[in-house]
Structure 1
Amino acid sequence: MIAAINRAALPCLVAGVLLVAAAGLSFLAVSKIGAMINEAAASARAERDAHWAAEIERANAHAARSIADQAREALRVETAANDRIRAAEQEQLELEKNNAALPDGGACGLDHGRVRLLAR
């Protein structure tokens, strides 16, 4: 009787062992596939982050160039304005000196010499 039970149980026992082995192999395969998916996702994130870091760096460089260009232009405009101011001040000093050199004949108002200074 035990021999009959062993004969009937042996195929079930082998099938059970094969089923456990198949389940174990399936679990290992799923975990390996999950690891590959996680690795691919991490690689894609790193690539995307590198792309956007390069874009940000490019935009920062462009902004820095623009700021430097604007600073140079502002300096050029300021220098030109200062030159014009100095020229106007020099011209005013020259007019005042020429005006002071004119004789004061006791005339009331503008005489011919002063009008000629203003006309310049």
Structure 2
Amino acid sequence: MSDIPSGLLYTAEHEYLRKAEDGVYTVGITDYAQGELGDIVFIELPAAGDSFDRMDTFGTIEAVKAVSDLFCPVKAEVVEVNPALDDDPSLVNSDPYGAGWMIKLRVADESDLEGLMDHEGYASHVGE
């Protein structure tokens, strides 16, 4: 059974968003997603200052068995990228909601968040 914390927002593509007090959102992939991918060996992420529309590909994640796209959940600008993932992409496996975060976003329009799921909706989405 996957860890699906409450208080986060989730996408159907298995990204999560956590809002910080400064209004910036931390984005990563869910515990369910990292479990499905298996051992993660490489992550390609954008640079701070890059902007994306909702559902644009912002990077890729490579596991031993597969390569998957990472999708921007909302229209936003990247304000920070997790540098630790360059040296240790397996942080996504060991701590997807903590040290394995990927990017931090400044959301262009908060109403874009309305289409995302809460933890109960995401749990139902993945069949848990």
TM-score range, shorter chain: under 0.3
Q: TM (normalized to structure 2)? A: 0.14
Q: TM (normalized to structure 1)? A: 0.14
Give the greater-gyration-radius structure (CA): 1
Between 1 and 2, higher relative CO (CA 8 Å, sep ≥ 6) is seen in: 2
Per residue, is there more helix in 1 or in 2?
Answer: 1
